[in-house]
Amino acid sequence: MSRSLVLRLLIIVALQPVIGVHAADKPVRRQLYVATPGVRNYLEYGGHGVLVFDIDAGHKFVKRIPTAGLDGAGKPLNVKGICANATTQRLYVSTIQTLQCFDLLTEKLLWEKAYDGGCDRMAIAPDGKVLYVPSLEKDHWHVVNGQTGDIIAKIEPKSGAHNTVYGLDGKHCYLAGLKSPLLTVADTSTHQVSKTVGPFTASIRPFTINGKQTVCFVCLNDLLGFEIGDITTGTKLHRVEVAGYEKGPVKRHGCPSHGIGLTPDEKEVWVCDAFNHSMHVFDATVMPPKQVASLKVRDEPGWITFSLDGKLAYPSTGEVFDVGTRKIIATLTDETGAAVQSEKMLEIDLRDQEPVRTGDQFGVGRVQ
């Protein structure tokens, strides 16, 4: 073996640990992915596409990922949901007609599929292999292969399919229809209904669950506040009404509170108040939760979610709240400087271009 070849081999061996450490030490970039039009089909709130913001740089606008989801006249359809998975490196956006799948690395559209009955707010399994996709306020949910978009099964609670939450352990998926006071629980090993929770006092609108999947928090028609259900026993536990605020007419959704979330540590519940342009904060360390703060926002809030670390709150009106101080620290604006609003957003963390963690469009509890 020549002296020069030996020298090259020694250099390669010496550099290998350094290269490994360098890769491991690369910082994780936290980004907020916001699908628009995420308030009906209103293009004035951010246009059309998935807008990406740098969380650690004051939520500075980074880029716009072009999306599909057009009607027959070429106009953008209402976006109904967004979800992603780091393992499979896929991003999904649903509209009232189709489900779109994107490669998170290349940001290219892999497929767009229409399903019988349309689409609403879907949820993805923790391993990214399966999505539960509700029809648009009809009888059924489709269980869909996350790689191909093919239909695996069909579940028919006949509840007016609307919102969907996947449990963190992947064993159950929770299905809420806006025409039913019952929360349906599906066993994901069989894709069959295993139980229901409720009835609650009216039809269920947005809802969330805790990490252990023992308790659900549900918004209801005609309620400024929320009710709480015991998932284990299937019974309603508490009714919690917002104090000091009156109900009034709203522009969208037809209910006073459309949007509820648990902070990841499950210490607080945040609930939307459309008429009063407010977010109401409740202490969830006691039962029933106790109202502790009310925060003004710039428009009617119709959704709420949180950063993965629980330090930031994202109402759909585009403000960014520091959860600890309850102060607004940023507002979302697009590349033109226009205010962005959307009810469909989530955090995705990347190292280089590789996704390493994904949040959720719902404010689900993460204590397991």
For the record, the structure tokens of 2 come out as 């020549």
- Average pLDDT along the chain, 368 residues, taken 10 residues at a time: 48 46 76 98 97 98 97 95 98 98 97 98 98 98 98 98 98 98 98 98 98 98 98 98 97 97 98 98 98 98 98 98 98 98 98 94 96
Is there a cis peptide before residue 288, judged by omega within 30 degrees of 0?
yes
Q: Facing residues of 84 across strands?
A: 91
Cβ burial of 242 (10 Å; 0-12, 13-18, 19+) is: buried
3-state helix, strand, coil in the chain (%, to 5): 10, 45, 45
User: How many angstroms separate the CA atoms of 85 and 149, rounded?
Assistant: 15
Q: Facing residues of 79 across strands?
A: 95
Please tell me the predicted confidence (pLDDT) of residue 3.
Answer: 54
For the record, the structure tokens of 267 come out as 């210490």
Please tell me the predicted confidence (pLDDT) of residue 21.
Answer: 46
Please tell me the predicted confidence (pLDDT) of residue 82.
Answer: 98
Task: Compute CA distances 206 → 10, 17, 63, 150, 199, whole Å.
Answer: 61, 49, 29, 27, 15
Using left for φ > 0, alpha for ψ between -120 and 50, and beta otherwise, residue 253 falls in left
Please tell me the predicted confidence (pLDDT) of residue 5.
Answer: 43
Please tell me the predicted confidence (pLDDT) of residue 26.
Answer: 86
- Locate the domains of the chain by residue range: 27-358
Task: Give me the CATH code for the 27-358 domain, please.
Answer: 2.130.10.10
As a whole number of angstroms, the longest Cα–Cα distance in the chain is 86
